[in-house]
Amino acid sequence: MKYSIIPRPVRYDVKDNETVVVSDMTAVNCVRSFLSVGNALSEYLHTRSDAGENEIIISRAKSIAPEGYALYTENGNIHIKASTATGAYYAFVTLKWILMQVKKVDGKKNITGFLIEDKPCYRHRGMMLDECRHFFGKETVKKLIDNMSMLKINVFHWHLADDQGYRIESKVFPLLNEVASKRRYAYLGKRGQDESQPEYGPFYYTHDEIREIVQYAAQRHVRVIPEIDIPGHTTAMVAAYPELSCDGKETDVNVSTGIMPAILCAGNENTYAFLEKLFDEVCPLFQSRYFHIGGDEARYGKWRKCPKCQAKIKDNSLKNEKHLQMYFMGRINEMLRHRGKTCIAWNDCLGDELDKNIICQYWTFQNAVMVKKQAKKREVILSPMLDFYFNYSYGSIPLKKTYKFNEKKKGFRKKGVRVKGIEGELWTEWIDTPEAIEYSLYPRLSALAEVAWVKLEKRNYKDFSERQKFYKLYLRSKGINYYRLDDKTRRKLIPMFSHGKDGKEFKKNEALKKQKN
């Protein structure tokens, strides 16, 4: 390729004998259905009102795949063809990659001609940010969405309810903000906790802030999927409303890491009534038809001792507490289905009894056999922790390991397997600053993007590494705190998890950044 583009297009032909000029005198001619893309392109080029020296022509072609596009030069003009606004937008993103690599001379950029045809391998190309363990605010989220959009990642999975905090404004249940959105310490575990610390929070997103972020993402063709993790990972929720638990005892929002015993009472009908009202409030805030309901790492100790839960098992002829969780998730699925949502759940909680419309998100390698079985019955999102958990150190998951993910070797290319897509995760137990987020994500997010967009047979790490050279220049130009250490240095720093700004990798990286700057 003449120009570096991530993810790599399906087809890129260079037209060495053709040059096209792009300047503020290049007009943008766009069909009405793609007007938002045309306006974005005009704004990017600072197109003048009297522009007309040449054109970028955006037209509709029904034969092109829904997120695909054709982008090519011809007779001094640039053409974009797509069947959807999303496809046209991705052509615009690719054109931005090209334009950023061409030096402007006398207000003009002379681009070598090209023919690009492109479409994604997977429909779901996602990135999850956990804002329960640490809260970052809307500007950090918007910056992340910008960077996702440049890599054609189309799903922002937003983890907003967990043991350490509840992050959505609630006018129906105000204690979710007064109690569940704050905790005694900012740091989790024993690291840095002392009584002189101020209380952490309350931190949560107002309804207006959520709508603003959802709209911001939609303009960049990113859909926002919220996650409220239930029935486990609910210490914060139970701290606000103890009657949701099996024993009704008061507790505090969690200030440690690991798996907590807190769990919603599945035998109490008031629990389901509470969640009905909560979903009535939360669902309208998000345009996406998908809703993540968690379901991971539920501990059944309290259910085993709870008369109401045991009665629910008996009354519904359930085998055990595992099947009680499937009963619980089934009822939640029905609630959300009636509100126009399709549920996603972590692989821990799934079984044959659950509605096949619930999408399985695969994360833990211990459940690989079960997940491959489920993948023939329901759609699956692949997020294996040893490949795509970016809270792990680069010593554990280097860039090459993420890029070399092979769904065929893992058994997800067999006949009948329904893989919806690929998603990366960033859990923030130890990541507490925007700089630590960026360091953890970049450049690994670009490898995830290419794995999700490019077919396995077409991926080439050597070629990808060459394109990384420009990508890192781009990250520097945007002031993004990307990972700079080489493999030799990385091997000496092998903690399993990234410890954010306090970790050895981060500190080494900061020192190297200062040297190069």
pLDDT digits (tens, 9 = 90+) for 407-463: 999 999 999 999 999 999 999 999 999 999 999 999 999 999 999 999 999 999 999
pLDDT digits (tens, 9 = 90+) for 111-144: 999 999 999 999 999 999 999 999 999 999 999 9
Contact 162, 262 (CB under 8 A): no
Triad 70, 76, 82: Cα angle to 5°: 15
The pLDDT assigned to 505 comes to 74
- The answer as to whether 468 is a domain residue is yes
Same domain, 52 and 158: no
Q: Which domain holds residue 20?
A: 11-118
Same domain, 35 and 136: no
Same domain, 132 and 57: no
ω into residue 202 within 30 of 0, thus cis? yes
pLDDT of 272 above 50: yes
The full 3-state SS of 290-312, as one line of letters, equals EEEEECCCCCCHHHHHCHHHHHH
Q: What average pLDDT does this structure show over 295-312?
A: 97
- The answer as to whether 510 is a domain residue is no
Chain position carrying tokens 């009704």 = 248
pLDDT digits (tens, 9 = 90+) for 354-374: 999 999 999 998 888 889 999
Q: What is the pTM of this model?
A: 0.95
Q: What does the longest C-alpha to C-alpha distance in the chain come to?
A: 79
Same domain, 108 and 91: yes
- The answer as to whether 508 is a domain residue is no
Contact 154, 146 (CB under 8 A): no
What does the alpha-carbon distance between residue 318 and residue 326 come to, in Å, rounded to a whole number?
10
Based on DSSP, count helices (H) and strands (E) in the chain, helices before strands: 18, 15
- The answer as to whether 514 is a domain residue is no
Same domain, 107 and 137: no
The pLDDT assigned to 380 comes to 96
- The answer as to whether 144 is a domain residue is yes
Same domain, 205 and 93: no
Same domain, 188 and 94: no
Q: Which of 118, 142, 157 is the last residue of a domain?
A: 118
User: The domain spanning residue 99 has which CATH number?
Assistant: 3.30.379.10
Chain position carrying tokens 């860039």 = 399
* Per-residue CA distances from 167 to 260, 346, 429, 484 (Å): 19, 20, 15, 32
The mean predicted confidence, pLDDT, of the chain is: 94
Triad 349, 354, 360: Cα angle to 5°: 55
The full 3-state SS of 327-396, as one line of letters, equals HHHHHHHHHHHCCCCEEEEEHHHCCCCCCCCCEEEECCHHHHHHHHHHCCCCCEEECCHHHHECCECCCC
Same domain, 428 and 294: yes
**Nearest alpha-carbon partner for 347 in 450, 425, 238:** 425
Quick one: tokens of 497? 């998890």
How many folded domains does the chain comprise? 2
The one-character DSSP state at 117 is E
Same domain, 309 and 435: yes
Q: How many residues does the chain have?
A: 517
Chain position carrying tokens 């003048």 = 48
The pLDDT assigned to 191 comes to 66
Q: For the beta carbon of residue 152, count every other beta carbon within 10 angstroms.
A: 24
* Per-residue CA distances from 496 to 367, 391, 429, 501 (Å): 21, 9, 13, 15
Packing angle between helix 85-100 and helix 138-150, nearest 10 degrees? 90
**Nearest alpha-carbon partner for 483 in 440, 431, 428:** 440
